[in-house]
Structure 1
């Protein structure tokens, strides 16, 4: 029907309603006209404009009007709780709690295996007996080498606190929960001093600026957010100022940009390490647009950091693990469990700027990386050249579409003792089932290392790797061998988890998962 939809939300099973979202009123009215009264599967559709949900900010203010206001020290505790909820615990207690949480995740994994794959029940029981109730071995958590001031990237909100004072810091909650207030970050443990200095400098700037801070309530104002990136190796600081231009003239924009440069490139800015300034135009993104327009205002276009002796270029939007020193532990764990040799080819899925793949390069024959972000691939190629690494190739595109072609590029010949190892480091939501299917069906791929920043969300991927053969999953199932937790996020509940999956070489493929297990 060629409707210009933005989002379609299906309600719970059995509901007669669906919600369809549009980017503008004209598209919505055209869709209502086309759908209302339309005959579909013997039924007549009814289409009408949905009533908006109650504004959470208005609801919260109504509730607050019937009670006394909260003391300001409660707001302070709230911003701590929302960003560093474990900071009240000694670090050894934080590690114990995180190890216990990873045990819970693996127990959930085992229960899902038991209920969804009956042919694996005897195997799961055996693993539980050998590993304290877990479906695979779990090694002790690896602590972060640095607990305070470890973050190399933070996104700070620009707004007002409960007293109406302009602030650069963190929200005490989300708009959906009825919160707009921005509070100071000066007391937070995980933010390095150079970032705190940068935030304080820019906060003074916005407080005296003629341009108002942005309000999510009225959609008015200009300064909305500031992203700060820093290098532990060099001390370099990159600042990205996010602004709503509203209807500013060209001259007003030039005035604003000049003032930002004057503030951040000042002597105080240099003392904080600021060497790179970007101007980000925040706007409603069009379909297919993943990033906002960005303009380089001052200094270096990139900063550099080091991991395992390699130097990496970091562009404004590049993914880079936020705890550089702990990332070295994470990547070394991945290398150790993968155990590559000079006959191994590495398939680096969601490779980003090439950090994991380049760290593997010295231990293997060749590396093939893929990522959907084109700028990340450009950075990966630069990083390979910067470090004189010649056995890595990187490709921009969706891993769902490129895995098969990468397998052809690898051209692994098992008869010559060559092996293929996949390293998977996906976003929080995990891999799409198409990528899992292609990895399962890849001949010669008998070892897979899954690095997860959100283990609770990755369980479905792990289950799919171990499902019995089917028309879709033709390759033999993998087996979870070993898990290692690495603490990249001290003072927070988040943990990275590395899991090694293996399967026997497919000399005589069998359709039954239990037969594959019997040979392990």
Structure 2
């Protein structure tokens, strides 16, 4: 039974500070911020709600400073909300407890912090003994456990991997199709008729497209610096689990088949530097130590390698940090580094940041500021933080699929939403009249403009801002009647306001949605397809064709591209027919006489 010391907080009703009395809660008193320290439990939530919607209620409408929301595995009508301090937590409880939302009365109370998972696991292992621990690991070696964690399909033939992914995508799309069927009574006959044609779906699902490379295909990897449980030495690799599961051990990556040999050599070179240094790896258990992670970017075009070395500065002085930078420059100027293809090195200081704070930026140490890679014959410069598809050869397949399914013409205007460094839009450029790109990250927009100039492409413009904020003004700049939207959002999908803007801009006739997490994007798919309403005034987009592309061999992940076409209303159909009649060339008098 866990013991707590509860202290009533002054001038605050129904709140108290939980003072843990056991080793499992010692982390709360260490340096650094923990989201567990100022946590509330929120119950009585309505049946249907979204996390984004709840955050909007809490932070915008009620003026609360929520730093994190955690949904427990076994709860749909309750969750945890975390705050930065006790004052913010108390304010939240006062505002939320008894608040009526969507017909439900919310209950908000102080939540006890979770025990340290690492301490808890170690206690369990001490009680189980070594033999039981080995049984728990199913007798697997560290190498096998690492493969299972990072490349779970490593021992499945590639053709079978493709079948698994094809079936998974079909199941996700059937859920999407069923959701639309439930909310669209007027389209049920249409959906059911189409399903007879497309094997259970109301639209076409093409066979999954293979990755041209299945070994060493990743051009970007982020490695953790920690202690190898077997060798007990500082190691640059991947964790065998997460801190939440009580695992902080790091295993070497030389046996993994999705990482290139150049990347592996660069990792070993940095590992050599870490082991020779007098600084220990950072420990998430007690926030001690220095070395955090290494990011490696590898160009498939010319073999160039970029490194971003990240460390926690702790209490190091400016002179000491400058000395570390000089040592890194010297180490990566060696013949071994040149043989690895290392052409660019950055250095980053990482400290635990609070919600709303900007993270640190990498500092250029030596070599080139960018590396170059290619997609569909275009060259792109890649900066440390730029988004670039991790499978370059697979990106050729994905982007060409998007171009083909979009039915783009020389008269089309393409709006590239979440454009990153402009890769998709620039690949579309030669097929259309104009490309307009939107991106949140200013550095990425700079790269996109530079990439356009680098490739001699003049029909592209790029804009900085949130898609949901700047989309109306960008769409207003689009001329012509054939407007195509290309959407490649982050894993969580598009903000609902961006979906609303797309629905309400009638000039957008076709939309290609590219998702790296199709299950997370289903809500976006449904909102694009649902019937018109007061909010979604424009006619719905109907799915026409979907194609999965295997960008991540040996893993469960797969990219999906879906073509949506705007449903034509009766008024629009009549307008099109009238326009066709008016533009038909009139017959000459001579022709009419001959016909008589």
TM-score (norm 2): 0.79
Partner of 1:111, secondary structure, is: helix
Q: How far apart are the structure 1 equivalents of 2:280 and 2:252?
A: 18
Aligned positions of 1:375-390 closer than 5 A: 375-390=443-458
1:230 aligns with 2:298: yes
1:6 aligned to which of 58, 61, 67: 67
1:298–1:112 CA distance, 2 compared to 1 (3 A) = same
Q: What are the ranges of 5 or more consecutive residues in structure 2 without an aligned counterpart?
A: 1-61, 101-105, 574-596
CA distance in 2, matches of 1:498, 1:33: 44
Structure 1 residue 102 and structure 2 residue 102: aligned? no
Partner of 2:499: 436
Partner of 1:246: 314
Shift of 1:120: 2.3
Deviation at 1:166, TM superposition (A): 1.0
> Is 1:355 the equivalent of 2:423?
yes
In structure 2, the partner of 1:369 is: 437
Contact residue 37 and residue 46 of structure 1 kept, 8 A: no
Cα distance 1:162–1:39, how it changes in 2: closer, same or farther (>3 A)? closer
User: In the TM superposition, what are the counterparts of 1:303-342 in structure 2 within 5 Å?
Assistant: 303-342=371-410
Contact 1:349 1:370 in 2 (8 A): yes
2:119 counterpart residue number: 58
* C-alpha contact 1:168 1:184 (8 A) present in aligned 2: yes
Report the Cα distance in structure 2 between the residues aligned to 1:231 and 1:302, rounded to whole angstroms.
Answer: 10
Distance 1:444 1:29, change over 3 A: closer
Q: Deviations over 1:448-474 (max 9, x none)?
A: 001111111111111111111100011
Match of 1:220 in 2: 288
Superposition deviation, residue 113 in structure 1 = 1.7
Per mean C-alpha deviation after superposition, the further-off stretch among 257-266 and 196-205 is: 257-266
Q: Which has the larger radius of gyration?
A: 2
Query: 1:125 aligns to what?
Result: 192
Tell me which of 317, 327, 331 is aligned to 1:259: 327
How many angstroms does 1:75 deviate by?
2.2
- Shift of the alpha carbon at 1:32? 3.2
Match of 2:248 in 1: 180
* Cα distance between partner residues in 2 of 1:48 and 1:459: 33
Residue 327 (structure 1) shift: 0.1
1:6 Cα deviation after fit = 2.7
Q: What is the alpha-carbon distance in structure 2 between the residues aligned to residue 291 and residue 313 of structure 1?
A: 23
Structure 1 residue 392 and structure 2 residue 392: aligned? no
Q: Is the 8 A contact 1:113 1:124 kept in 2?
A: no
CA distance in 1, matches of 2:392, 2:92: 54
Once residues 150 and 302 of structure 1 are traced to their aligned partners in structure 2, the CA distance between those partners, rounded to angstroms, is 20
Determine if contact 1:109/1:135 at 8 Å carries over to the other structure. Answer: no
8 Å contact kept, 2:82–2:89:
no
8 A Cα contact 1:443 1:506, kept in partner = no
Post-superposition Cα deviations, 1:381-404, rounded to whole Å, max 9, x if no partner, equal: 000010110000000100001111
Residue matched to 1:278: 346
Task: Give, in whole Å, the separation in 2 of the partners of 1:321 and 1:244.
Answer: 28
Aligned residue pair count:
499
CA 509–61 in structure 1, closer or farther in 2 if over 3 Å, else same:
farther
**Residues 1:147 and 2:210 aligned together:** no
What is the SS of the residue equivalent to 2:571?
Answer: coil
Gap change, CA 1:366 and 1:268, over 3 Å in 2? same
Tell me the distance in 2 between the aligned counterparts of 1:365 and 1:221.
Answer: 54
Query: Relative to 1, partners in 2 of residues 1:483 and 1:290: Cα closer, same or farther, differing over 3 Å?
Result: farther
Cα 1:364–1:427 shift into 2, 3 Å: same
RMSD value over aligned CA atoms? 2.4
Q: Which has the higher contact order (CA 8 A, sep 6+)?
A: 1
* Structure 2 counterpart of 1:488: 551
Q: TM-score, normalised by structure 1?
A: 0.91
Q: Report the CA distance between 1:506 and its aligned residue.
A: 5.5
Q: Structure 2 CA distance, aligned partners of 1:54 and 1:34?
A: 23
Structure 1: where are the runs of 5+ without partners?
A: 511-520
State the shift of 1:114 in Å: 2.0
